[in-house]
Chains A and B, each alone.
Chain A
Amino acid sequence: DSGVTQTPKHLITATGQRVTLRCSPRSGDLSVYWYQQSLDQGLQFLIQYYNGEERAKGNILERFSAQQFPDLHSELNLSSLELGDSALYFCASSVGGRGYNEQFFGPGTRLTVL
């Protein structure tokens, strides 16, 4: 158990819908990272927040957005969902704000878009 929690574990929805994924980092960690893992794309970095502020941005679509709240939990919002958005979404956390800090991954949320 990494100490990072993600909810829900599974999510099934339809194209065009909007969903919110939630992540709680390890106690004491200030950074949260979001990743998308699909079979054909591997692990894709989406976005990082550090202490409430956006720190780094990866291949995040405009239909996706994220935020980190004062209690440091984070939410990833996915809208106008397409079939290709079906994937495993991981959240990770680290103590510091630098991308090379050791990251602790949560168990992931498996999103299925039908």
Chain B
Amino acid sequence: GQQVMQIPQYQHVQEGEDFTTYCNSSTTLSNIQWYKQRPGGHPVFLIQLVKSGEVKKQKRLTFQFGEAKKNSSLHITATQTTDVGTYFCQDSNDYKLSFGAGTTVTVRA
């Protein structure tokens, strides 16, 4: 079945810096959801991307869906300690839900 690959697996960021995590697939993605899971917590929905080339922003977070719908990215600017956690992308349609392995983010103050 289709696999959703997330890179990098780990991201160590200096507070105040920017970083990007990527979600890639060899086949066309259906709809992308991004979730954040804090340490010891449960996944929390962040955003959904549906259209090719779509870009959505939430404060310091920018989400993008590739033109060919084979990749998605999450870019965080001016990283804060509250950004610590694991970010997952999920590809889903009516009958299939696939999570990427996640990018675990740690922040150096």
- B42 and A107: CB pair below 8 A? yes
Q: Which residues of B contact A33 (CB under 8 A)?
A: 97
CB of A100 within 8 A of CB of B42, answer no
| Bound complex: CA A15 to CA B100 (Å) | 29
B99 in contact with A45 (CB, 8 Å): yes
B85 close to chain A: CB less than 8 A: no
B11 within 8 A of A: no
Check A48–B102 contact: CB distance below 8 A.
no
The answer to whether B42 touches A105 (Cβ under 8 A) is yes
Within 8 A of A (CB), among B26-41: 30-31, 33
Q: Does A99 contact B (CB under 8 A)?
A: yes
Interface size on B, residues (CB 8 A): 21
- B97 close to A45 (CB less than 8 A): yes
Q: Does A2 contact B (CB under 8 A)?
A: yes
Count of chain A residues with Cβ under 8 Å from any Cβ of B? 24
Among A33, A35, A42, A48, the one with the most B-chain Cβ atoms within 10 Å of its Cβ is A42
Q: Are B42 and A99 in contact (CB under 8 A)?
A: no
Give which listed residue, B30, B42, B45, contacts A108 with CB less than 8 A. Answer: B42
User: A48 vs B90: C-alpha distance in the bound complex, in angstroms?
Assistant: 15
Q: Which residues of A contact B93 (CB under 8 A)?
A: 98-100
B42-69 vs A, CB cutoff 8 Å, 1 = contact: the mask equals: 1111001010000000000000000000
Cβ contact within 8 Å between A100 and B99: no
A13: interface (CB < 8 Å): no
Look across to chain B and name the residue whose beta carbon is closest to the beta carbon of A106: B42
Any A CB within 8 A of the CB of B101: yes
Residues of chain A within 8 A of B99, CB atoms compared: 35, 42-45
Q: Which residues on B sit within 8 Å (CB–CB) of A107?
A: 42
Q: Is the CB of B96 within 8 A of A99?
A: yes
B22 within 8 A of A: no
Residue pair A90, B43 in contact (C-beta under 8 Å): yes
Measured CA separation A92–B45 after assembly (Å) = 11
C-alpha spacing A55/B97, complex, angstroms:
11
Q: Which 6 pairs of residues, A with B, have the shortest CB-CB distance? A: A99-B92, A100-B31, A105-B42, A43-B99, A45-B97, A42-B101
